[in-house]
Amino acid sequence: MTAHAGDDFTLFPESLGTLAPMVMRSRAGAGTRLANGLFAASLADRCSSGDTLELDKRPFDLRAAAPLPPLMRVYLYTMTTHPSERQQGAYRIQIILPNKGRHFDTTDDAYVILAGYNPSLEVFALWDADAHDIGKGIPHSKGVQVLEDTLLEAMSRGVARQTRRLRGTDESETVVASRPDTLPEALELRWQLSIERLIS
DNA sequence: ATTCGTTTATAAGTTCACCC
DNA sequence: GGGTGAACTTATAAACGAAT
């Protein structure tokens, strides 16, 4: 299913709080923007400033405190599962960078968050952006997937992770899935994993 | 044979312009 | 000034092809 402006607001949990008006006023890609709002709202108490959020943009920046990256640049996409999906129980997001961009924008040393959100399950998935933005970067679009099992586990336990090997390389990435209410933990974990990758 | 990645197509939403 | 219509932009969906 798809979240379009005007219909699926009820799919989003109470957590939007005061962000709701802002989110509802947002424009293109309602589904994504709603997710943006939820994402931000989930981190509200961890952010240095819950205001000045530009949810109308993709990606959008988020400033956080303490255990989280100071500046996060969030690329959030709607995570879907296709009827014709080859792999049963697989969810995926399609990365399409704005304006012919070939790489994630890391200006200002922002930590890039590559995330997906599924409104039906109400779970986020966090990929390792660095692991995907390598070499020539992203062509036109790039799809990454998660197993449904991981998502379900995240739903019940709050946070879950899944490692999968990227073909073409011997590198493996870790996908972190999480419920909105445990997003801070998931992000922290994701960040730690990225750091570990850098020093290896 | 199966899984992942890339590309193309279709749909919806939003914005801009013109006409009443 | 308001309303209606058209065009454009961006997102979502699906299929195809390559690699393991």
For A34-58, the pLDDT digits (tens) are 667 777 777 777 765 544 555 555 5
Look at residue A45 and give its three-state secondary structure: helix
The answer to whether the CB of A148 falls within 8 A of the CB of A118 is: no
pLDDT tens for A127-136 read 877 776 655 5
Residue that the structure tokens 């014709």 belong to: A84
Q: Is the CB of A135 under 7 A from strand B?
A: no
Taking the C-alpha atoms of residue A35 and residue A102, their distance in angstroms, rounded to an integer, is: 23
Residue A127 token pair:
């990929």
Q: Measuring from the CA of residue A87 to each C1', which nucleotide is nearest?
A: B3
CA of A43 to C1' of C17 (A): 40
**DSSP per residue, A83-150:** TT-SSTTEEEEEE--GGG--S---GGGPEEEEEEEETTTTEEEEEEHHHHS-TT---S-EEEEEEHHH
Sorting pLDDT into bands at 50, 70 and 90, what band is A6? very low
**Could you report the per-residue pLDDT of A90-108, keeping only the tens digit for each?**
677 777 665 444 567 777 7
Query: Are residues A138 and A114 in contact, defined by beta-carbon separation less than 8 angstroms?
Result: no
Q: Which nucleotide is nearest to A6 (CA to C1')?
A: B13
Q: What residue segments make up the domains of chain A, in order of their start?
A: 14-199
Of A69-73, A115-119, A146-150, A171-175, where does the model show the most confidence? A69-73
Residue A134 token pair: 């390598």
**Residue A1 CA to B11 C1' — how many Å?**
13
